[in-house]
Structure 1
Amino acid sequence: MKVLFVHPHGKNWMGSMKDISTIFNLMPPLGMMSIAAFLERQGVEVDLLDCYAHPAPLEELVASIVRRAPDVVGFSTTTSSFLEGYQIAERLKEEAPQVRIVFGGAHACSVGVSLLDSFPAIDYLVIGEGERTFYELINADFRGVEGIPGVGFRRDGKGVLSAVRENIADLDTLPFPAYHRLPDFPRRYNLPLFSYPKAPNTSIISSRGCPYNCSYCDRSVFNRGFRFNSPGYIHEHMSYLHRDFGIRHLFFYDDLFTFDRGRVEELCRLLSDSRLPVTYNCIARLEHVDPELVALLKKSGCWQVNFGIESGDPEVLKKHRKFMELDDVQRKLSMVKESGMRVKGLFMVGLPGEDEVAIRRTIDYALTLPLDEINVTKFTPFPGAPIYKTIREQGEFTEDWPSMNCVNFVFVPHGMTKERLEELYDEFIRRFFHRTRIHMGYAKMVWKSPHSIMTFLRNLPEILKFEMKQKW
């Protein structure tokens, strides 16, 4: 049996313009690649089609899939890419009706089996972690699916779930993701500009799940709890990427890389002792930061630490996540900055309960922090997030799936307008980046991140077009 995995691109939020986000930030589809690697280890023939790396018109994509002659096509989609994936599936059913269509990923897991009631081209859903479920499904040749946990299927024309799939307890039993199935890895893939010292680079995930309950986070695939790869497994994974693909820098895309202190300490020691020539970035929660951890991260090759700050308004924060005093946030960020690592802050605009005063408080607060860079997203209430259940009570929500990609305001809190949110968002970006200190920091990237500078200059015409569009 031959399985082809497809990673749809989703809506190009800049309209007719080239999507420059995929030039400056394109990470491999690790979840899909993990399932592919698991199947491959069981002797299944697999192939991958990443539409982010190779976008193409619908008919061209369908023709490419038909030429590869798969028995099964698995789509891994987010909310914003689901409808594009379904368009491909519909056309594929017309061209090759014998092909089984399976959907998984964040959107399938968060919306659930009701998708089968409205989208007839989908044959089955994989709900939850996909490795074992997908293998058992194809190994049974799609017979007896009601006895395979984690499968969404139709009974009397109605979508139902076979049973809940238990999470994989020992993640070290899984093979490394199938990087080798991406035809131009790592050349086509790149971390965000100015967030790495060397190329080639890529992302890696070393844990699953999160025990926290932030209102805006979708935990429908891996659920709550926390499971992780052992330090030895992670070190071997990093060594493999360096040895086989020449990777020189990694981004740990884990939500909670620093959650298990013992794991982080042992990994840092392994990296320091082995002198593996691979640096890395990670995401950390401020609660975990102390001088000892900072020293370990720096010594083991950590180049940048990202922190979810979200808002500078205490009352807004208390509504949506575990609260930390804003003075403590500043102190801990300074601790990381003074160690010599770069510091990136992650913020949201348009959270339920925010008004103009709260957003301006966030902007002013961000300007006081020792941040090298920020990423500001537009709050999006995803179906699997706790806040989704009551979101319509807290403002105006336009549930347009293709636009739900964190770069569009699909939700407007009570008392605000979409136009005013856009103005405040633009002001946030402008005031942060149009400062001498930030300009000087980017000037230093000539020698700190030369690959970023070259990529920036090579794509300068597209950047200028985008800037002109923003001004209009």
Structure 2
Amino acid sequence: MTDVLLVNSSFAYGKVGRGIQFYPPIGLNYLAASLRLKGMTPKIVDLGIEPFTVEDVAEIIAKENIPLVGFSSNSTQIHNTMRFVCGLRERFGKNLTIALGGFHISNDPTFLERYPQIDIGVIGDGDITFTQLAQRVLGGEKVRGTFTGEMIPSLDDIPFPAYDLTPLERYKQAGLQYYPLLGTRGCPFNCVFCSRAPMSRKVRFRSAENLLEEMKRGYDVFEGRYGFLDESFTLREKNVIAFCEGLIKWGKPVRWTAGGIRLDQINPDVIDIMWKAGCRDFFVGVETGSERVRKEIVGKRISDKQIFESFKILDRHPFEVEASFVLGHPTETEEELAQTCFFPAKLKSMGIKCLTQVGFKLAVPMPGSRLWTIAKREGKIPEDFIDRYINFEYGEDFFSGWPKYYPDGISKEKVLELKKKGYMKYYLRPGYIFSRIRRDLANPKYLLEDLREFISMLRKGHSTVSLTE
């Protein structure tokens, strides 16, 4: 019987969230594996793909007499998380111990003082600390308080994620196209919009041998397709080279995406061996077309010339690269905003081939980020926003309720207008249209998807599954 229920929260209640959460909650999968290692029996409920209500989760707890439930929640999900917490507390009283982990509490350390319905809060890594706390709770101890998670010194020491508790076949049906992997934890950088807690800026790496062992075990699930969820995959070049050499030696046909790569960390030799080892696509955050905003505000000290040179290195191979841009940085002018929106088309006009997809996202302040601090200081977000959000004063829908950041002097309408023009400039290029037609004719299953996206771009100026307007 289950003794620990782990719940991955969602920004939608009682329904699947617009096709966004189609990948397993890898943090909870790792946590469940650590709980098992200590003799406990966990179960995972992923509200992103299982549209359960409070009553549904309560019935699971009651049926199996589960004494401990742990929620993982980021800030956009915290209103629905507290809906579940309050509902379960009302149903079970003090007989149920409720814990909270994830991004929000890591950036809101006084959260339990305001919401005593929660017994335990864990900031940062939960693999060691939550497992120890769970043992105490299951041993009959009443545990309360906010605890700072002990960081795992070596990622090779933790068991592989318990994907059997969130069967990957279900996520495949929802749109997942690869076996999800994490090669690192942490990010040393501090971009203005990033909500990563300071303690997680220490980066830890898995060894090539450890990664390859997991890949071998999961090879058949997606027929050799893997996707890294790392934010800076090439951060330690010797690790990347050792990993790629191991893949090549393994000899199996694989295709993998490297997750996020920084354009100021493009080494031709590393890129060459990544291609040889089966890497075919990844994501880069350009963030803005303005050098001033990029260096002074975002915190990425890379020039337009360096960006172009990095893309030219990537063009040594036919990679498929997605570039992300954020619209609405502090002090940004309308001219700089326009530079951002037309930057992808400019790169294509300069002969860049590997850039195949772009995304323009409105700046969204998140607790823990510098942008959140700036927005509150400027009065764009009330001091008690989180508590009002939890009380649904901004409605049920995160997309319309959560504030976006618009620089002084630039209206929301102007930002959306330039965003739409940027998409039109990039995606209505004859070269892009012809390439998509060729793809769709070769594989008609993509045709309907492309038509939906094209209509959405024309009517709304964004993707059908955009997280912002």
Which TM-score band applies after superposition, normalised by the shorter structure? 0.7 to 0.9
Structure 1 residues 90-141: Cα deviation after superposition (integer angstroms, max 9, x where no partner): 11122222121100000011111x2112223211101110011111101122
| Structure 1 residue 79, shift from structure 2 partner | 0.5
Which residue is equivalent to 2:10?
A: 9
Distance 1:330 1:186 in 2: 40
Distance in 1 (CA, whole Å) between partners of 2:432 and 2:345 is 11
**Aligned equivalents of 2:318, 2:100: Cα separation in 1:** 44
- Asked if the contact 1:395–1:414 (Cα under 8 Å) also holds between the matched residues in 2, the reply is no
Match of 1:196 in 2: none
Which residue number in structure 2 is paired with residue 382 of structure 1? Answer: 366
Quick check: 1:79–1:405 contact (8 Å CA) kept in 2? no
Aligned AA for 1:470?
K
Shift of 1:454: 2.8
| Residue 274 (structure 1) aligned to one of 247, 250, 259 | 250
Who is 1:261 aligned against? Answer: 237
Identify if the C-alpha distance between structure 1 residues 461 and 423 changes in structure 2 by more than 3 Å, giving closer, same or farther: closer
Q: Deviation at 1:351?
A: 1.5
Q: Which amino acid aligns with 1:90?
A: C
- Measured after TM superposition, the shift of residue 65 of structure 1 is 4.4
**1:121 — aligned with what?**
117
Among the aligned pairs, what percent are the same residue? 23
- CA-atom RMSD in angstroms: 3.2
SS at match of 1:298: helix
1:34-69 deviations in whole A, cap 9, x for unaligned?
Answer: 111110121110101111112244434443444443
CA contact (8 A) 1:397 1:411 kept: no
Q: 1:460 to 1:358 in 2, by over 3 A?
A: closer
Q: CA deviation at 1:461?
A: 9.7
What SS does the aligned partner of 2:231 have? coil
Q: How far apart are residue 317 of structure 1 and its match?
A: 0.6
What displacement does 1:144 show? 11
Partner of 1:421: 415
- For 2:207 and 2:254, locate their aligned partners in 1 and report how far apart those are by CA, in whole Å: 18
Distance in 2 between residues matched to 1:214 and 1:429, nearest whole Å: 24
Q: Give the TM-score, by structure 1 length.
A: 0.84
Given the alignment of the two structures, is residue 100 of structure 1 paired with residue 90 of structure 2, yes or no? no
User: Which has the higher mean CA deviation after the structures are superposed, 262-271 or 365-374?
Assistant: 365-374
Amino acid at match of 2:325: F
| Secondary structure in 2 matching 1:6 | strand
Quick one: which of 421, 427, 432 aligns to 2:426? 432
Q: How many angstroms apart in 1 are the aligned matches of 2:406 and 2:141?
A: 42
**Residue 83 of structure 2 aligns with which residue?**
87
1:3 Cα deviation after fit: 0.6
Q: Contact between 1:8 and 1:81, CA under 8 Å: does it hold in 2?
A: yes
- 2:268 equivalent in structure 1: 291
Q: CA deviation at 1:20?
A: 3.8
Q: 2: CA distance between counterparts of 1:47 and 1:309?
A: 39
Residue type of the partner of 1:251? G
Does the CA contact (< 8 Å) of 1:220 and 1:384 recur in 2? yes
Give the equivalent residue in structure 2 for 1:202. Answer: 179
Do the aligned residues in 1 keep the contact of 2:29 with 2:162 (CA within 8 Å)?
yes
| Separation (CA, whole Å) in 1 of partners of 2:406 and 2:124 | 30
Shift of 1:191: 9.2
Partner of 1:312: 289
Give the residue type in structure 2 aligned to 1:77: S
Contact 1:306-1:343 within 8 A present in 2 as well: yes
Larger RCO: Structure 1 or Structure 2 (Cα < 8 Å, ≥ 6 residues apart)? 1
User: How many angstroms does 1:469 deviate by?
Assistant: 7.4
1:21 matches 2:36:
no
Question: Within 2, Cα distance between the matches of 1:265 and 1:315?
Answer: 34
One of 28, 37, 47 as aligned partner of 1:41: 37
Asked if the contact 2:6/2:28 (under 8 Å) is kept, the reply is yes
Find the aligned partners of 2:459 and 2:12 in 1 and give their Cα distance: 18
Mean alpha-carbon deviation: is it higher for 368-377 or for 57-66? 57-66
Equivalent residue, structure 2, for 1:332: 310
Alpha-carbon contact 2:420-2:460 (below 8 Å) kept: no
Structure 2: distance between partners of 1:368 and 1:228: 36
Alignment partner, residue 454 of structure 1: 445
Contact 1:186–1:202 at 8 Å: present in 2 too?
A: no
Q: Counterpart of 1:111 in 2: which secondary structure?
A: coil
In 2, the alpha carbon distance for the partners of 1:109 and 1:342 equals 34
Task: Tell me the alpha carbon deviations over residues 152-177 of structure 1, each in whole angstroms, 9 at most, x when there is no partner.
Answer: x45xxxxxx45x44411101001111
Alignment of structure 1 residues 153-192 onto 2, 5 Å? 153-154=144-145, 161-162=146-147, 164-182=148-166, 184-189=167-172
Q: Is the 1:74–1:102 contact (alpha carbons within 8 Å) kept by the matching residues of 2?
A: yes
Q: Distance in 2 between matches of 1:28 and 1:56?
A: 16
Residue matched to 1:50: 46
Residues 114-123 or 81-90, more deviating: 114-123
Count of aligned positions? 442
Q: Cα–Cα, structure 1 residues 373 and 79, in superposed 2: closer, same or farther, change >3 Å?
A: same
Gap runs ≥5 in structure 1: 155-160, 193-198
Counterpart contact for 1:242–1:248, Cα < 8 Å: yes
Question: Cα 1:41–1:77, aligned 2, differ >3 Å: closer, same or farther?
Answer: same
- Matched to 2:309, the amino acid is R
- For the residue of structure 2 that corresponds to 1:140, the secondary structure is helix
Checking the alignment, whether the CA contact within 8 Å between 2:89 and 2:96 is kept in structure 1 is yes
1: CA distance, partners of 2:119 / 2:213: 38
Return the offset for 1:434. Answer: 2.2
Letter of the structure 1 residue corresponding to residue 191 of structure 2: C
Structure-2 residue corresponding to 1:157 = none
AA in 1 matched with 2:189? Y
- Greater mean alpha carbon deviation, residues 85-94 or residues 394-403: 394-403
Is 1:470 the equivalent of 2:460? yes
CA offsets 1:340-365 (integer angstroms, 9 cap, x no match): 11111111111112222111011122
Residues 1:145 and 1:215: Cα distance change in structure 2 (over 3 Å): farther
Name the CA shift for 1:17/1:141 in 2 (closer, same or farther; >3 Å): closer
- Residue 59 of structure 1: SS of its match in structure 2? helix
How far is the alpha carbon of 1:180 from its aligned partner?
A: 0.7
1:272–1:38 distance in 2 versus 1, CA, 3 Å: same
